[in-house]
Structure 1
Amino acid sequence: MHGEAVALGAGTVLNALATGVGSAFAIDAETTARVELDDSGHVDGEIAGVDDGDTRLIRRCVEHVVDRFGDGQGGHVRTESDVPMAAGLKSSSAAANATVLATLSALDVDVGDDAPLDRTAACRMGVDAARDAGVTVTGAFDDASASMLGGVTVTDNTSDDLLQRDGVEWDVLVWTPPERAFSADADVERCKQVAPMADLVADLALDGRYGEAMTVNGLAFSAALGFPTDPAVEAMGHVDGVSLSGTGPSVVAVGDRDGLERVRDTWTEREGHTWLTTTRTDGARVIE
């Protein structure tokens, strides 16, 4: 009994830490999960290229799916990813989505609009597993929904409701500095201080003004979380929107290719990794 699936990384439009409402968009960076089930009743996990990596989340995803659709199976889950960990690019959401879909495939459970389980419901299973594993503060349904469904989503993470989804097609520039920041360590109380700005960002996003929403979000949450705003200021004259992604440290910008390339020339002078990519509208998928 085995299954394999792929899910996407994502960038931030609105950080949900302040009010519970969040927004994210899928990018062309993939995480693959392979699940092999057996009768052991125990699940172990492995993250490719990460010795002694924290596998609580992916193991819990397998357990959640087996609890609902299986018969006490155990097994092994292995993830491999293009999405850097603890960089604000939704690596945990991508790993959870890919693992959930791979486990469902291993159990021969179809996922789709006409199937017993649609992708949004499958996404919620990964969100529940993330909460159980303690790797997220909000449940990250915004990040997970973008990773699973593709495009840009707006969600209420307090109720795991999908408020809006658009199939956007943007060019994207990402700068990831060398340091890492774990979502579970974010200062939630400081983030709540910028709730009025988060409400404004939510209004902009729900009105489809995603670029403006990103920029306001980035300035507010960079200040709240103690990240520099210089990269965003350098980009503002050339892009449609720029924001701190998640709880950092990555910064993402969207706009036309020429403008993003000009910003790339500036950002590459900073320590870290700068790369151009695109959004994705297809979302997560089962490979086998």
Structure 2
Amino acid sequence: MGRGVGIASACASATVVNAIAAGKGAAFGIDLRVQATVRITKQRKISGRILGEKKESPKLIETCVRRVLESIGLEKSGAVVETTSEIPIAAGLSSSSAAANATVLATFAACDQRPTPEQVLELGIESAFEAGVTVTGALDDAAASFFGCGVITDNLKRRILKKFKVDPHLMVVIHVPPKKFYTSKVSPEKLHHLRGPIKSVHRMASRGEIWKALTINGLLYSTALGHDSMIAIEAISQGAVAAGLTGTGSATVAVAEPDKVVDIVKAWRNWPGRILITRPAVEGARVEGV
């Protein structure tokens, strides 16, 4: 790659505690990735494409590029940005946060700049608010995607309270229903009754009871949002250490020892949709080429 082109990627994440109800969240990175390629131009126009997803709006990635260029005094430049992704869109797996992280990093790389993690997260979150794809700013998702580990966060104060490691030998099994479910369509007011219970679940996660928190959080949000909680319960009955709705759905994530994966997959074939098998992330966002 020559000067003026940057390539970067970031990983997906799975929810431990969804921050919409109480403003505090937790998540961990999983090994599905999105890659962004940014090419700086002289045309003062920013155009984006999400390859393989013609119906999805490129507004978020275009906003990320513009905000980065403005932050380093290159607002008169233009750019072309393209993303490719292994992450199902609108399923609760942080496809937006990962795309923002990858795009922000790729734009800095294209401009020969090295940002701090705080800069990347802040620009991505502000872009997500502007593009209308987030309710809380999703610091939990963004930080898990950027650092590739587990994080416990205060989304409203934009603070990472704690990081934690997930056993890399565990497997992550994901059920993705046929229908997408967009976080931006969820009203925090409708989830206000979950505020107290979710605060308790967040404290549980902060004490290190990550898998218990993930399962209880998933049951609470599945019930509140009208998703089928039996998918998670079936995974638990098949030996998963934790299972629950991720994000606002529509996907369900199960965390399990490798020898339990086949049983979980067999049980989940009773539900329509596709099943992905992956692992906890071992690496977060990275520059892949300049």
**TM-score, L = length of structure 2:** 0.94
Give the letter aligned to residue 119 of structure 2: A
Question: Is the contact between residue 97 and residue 141 of structure 2 (CA under 8 Å) also seen in structure 1?
Answer: yes
RMSD across aligned C-alpha pairs, in angstroms?
A: 1.1
What is the deviation of 1:21? 0.3
Counterpart Cα distance in 1 of 2:45 and 2:158: 29
2:28 aligned residue: 25
Counterpart Cα distance in 2 of 1:136 and 1:33: 20
Question: Is the contact between residue 31 and residue 282 of structure 2 (CA under 8 Å) also seen in structure 1?
Answer: no
Unaligned runs of 5+ in 1: 111-116
2:96 aligned residue: 92
> What is the SS of the residue equivalent to 2:247?
coil
Unaligned runs of 5+ in 2: none
Give the letter aligned to residue 285 of structure 1: R
What is the deviation of 1:259? 2.2
Counterpart Cα distance in 1 of 2:244 and 2:186: 17
Superposition pairs of residues 267-286 of structure 1, within 5 angstroms: 267-286=268-287
> What is the SS of the residue equivalent to 2:249?
coil
Counterpart Cα distance in 1 of 2:172 and 2:118: 25
> What is the SS of the residue equivalent to 1:129?
helix
Counterpart Cα distance in 2 of 1:145 and 1:59: 20
Question: Is the contact between residue 242 and residue 256 of structure 2 (CA under 8 Å) also seen in structure 1?
Answer: yes
1:158 aligned residue: 156
Q: Deviations over 1:58-80 (max 9, x none)?
A: 00000111011142211110000
1:48 aligns with 2:46: no
Question: Is the contact between residue 183 and residue 248 of structure 2 (CA under 8 Å) also seen in structure 1?
Answer: yes
1:113 aligned residue: none
Q: Deviations over 1:22-62 (max 9, x none)?
A: 11111111100000011222211001012243011000000
> What is the SS of the residue equivalent to 2:122?
helix
1:196 aligned residue: 196
Give the letter aligned to residue 11 of structure 2: L
Give the letter aligned to residue 246 of structure 2: S
Aligned residues between the structures: 282
Q: Deviations over 1:148-176 (max 9, x none)?
A: 10111111110211111112123111000
Deviating 4+ runs (over 3 angstroms): none
2:134 aligned residue: 136
The more displaced of 56-65 and 168-177 is 168-177
Give the letter aligned to residue 66 of structure 1: L
Question: Is the contact between residue 9 and residue 94 of structure 1 (CA under 8 Å) also seen in structure 2?
Answer: yes
Superposition pairs of residues 130-279 of structure 1, within 5 angstroms: 130-168=128-166, 169=168, 170-237=170-237, 238-279=239-280
2:105 aligned residue: 101
CA 1:52/1:172 → structure 2, altered by over 3 Å: closer, same or farther? closer
What is the deviation of 1:274? 0.9
What is the deviation of 1:228? 1.3
Counterpart Cα distance in 2 of 1:285 and 1:143: 16
What is the deviation of 1:225? 0.7
1:67 aligns with 2:70: yes
Q: Deviations over 1:71-93 (max 9, x none)?
A: 22111100000001111111101
**TM-score, L = length of structure 1:** 0.95
Counterpart Cα distance in 2 of 1:189 and 1:228: 22
